[in-house]
Amino acid sequence: MAPRLRVFSVLIATLFLIPALTLYRDLTKRSDIWWTPLGMALSLPDSKDRVEIYVGAQSLGTLLEQKRVSITDESASRALGASEIRLRFNNWDRVRAARIPALLAYAAVCGAGIMLLVLLATGRLAYRGERKAEE
């Protein structure tokens, strides 16, 4: 292999490793870390556009307004209010959907890098003058 092609193949291999390592890191990342932090959990009225909770056939919000949901502490039983219920959401589906274009681009770059390395290894990218010099 000509020295120019050897340098070119090392450059392509290096440029291949960047998206390949990024793909590996993204695909092996834990999927259970996308929950809303507890401090940012939404109250029941604030989350009406994303979730509705039903107990039996009635909405939890309706049951809380009617004071039909209670909690028992060590000392006594008391009715719960809507502000006491907090909701955390798992945003993994949104994060995964947002990552798809970047992952596809990284996969395309990896495929192009592999194709160029194969072309170099088989001698298809050698300059005509270099081919004649090798023969």
Averaged pLDDT of the chain: 83
pTM: 0.54
- Together in a domain, 83 and 43: yes
CA 97 to chain centre: 7
- Together in a domain, 84 and 95: no
CA 24 to chain centre: 12
- Together in a domain, 68 and 83: yes
Task: Report how many domains make up the chain.
Answer: 2
The mean per-residue pLDDT over the stretch 107-134 comes to 76
Rounded to whole angstroms, the Cα distance separating 15 from 110 reads: 9
- Together in a domain, 29 and 4: yes
Better-predicted residue by pLDDT, 114 or 30: 114
- Together in a domain, 45 and 8: no
pLDDT range class, residue 8, cuts 50, 70, 90: confident
- Together in a domain, 82 and 50: yes
CB 111 within 8 A of CB 19: no
- Extract the tokens encoding 5: 């092609």
- Together in a domain, 23 and 60: no
Query: Which tens digits make up the pLDDT trace of 72-93?
Result: 888 888 888 888 888 888 888 8
CA dihedral defined by 113, 118, 124, 130, rounded to 10 degrees? 90
Compute the residue count for the chain: 135
pLDDT range class, residue 2, cuts 50, 70, 90: low
- Together in a domain, 26 and 44: no
Predicted local distance difference test score (pLDDT) of residue 108: 93
**Where in the sequence is the domain holding 123, given as residue range(s)?**
1-35+90-135
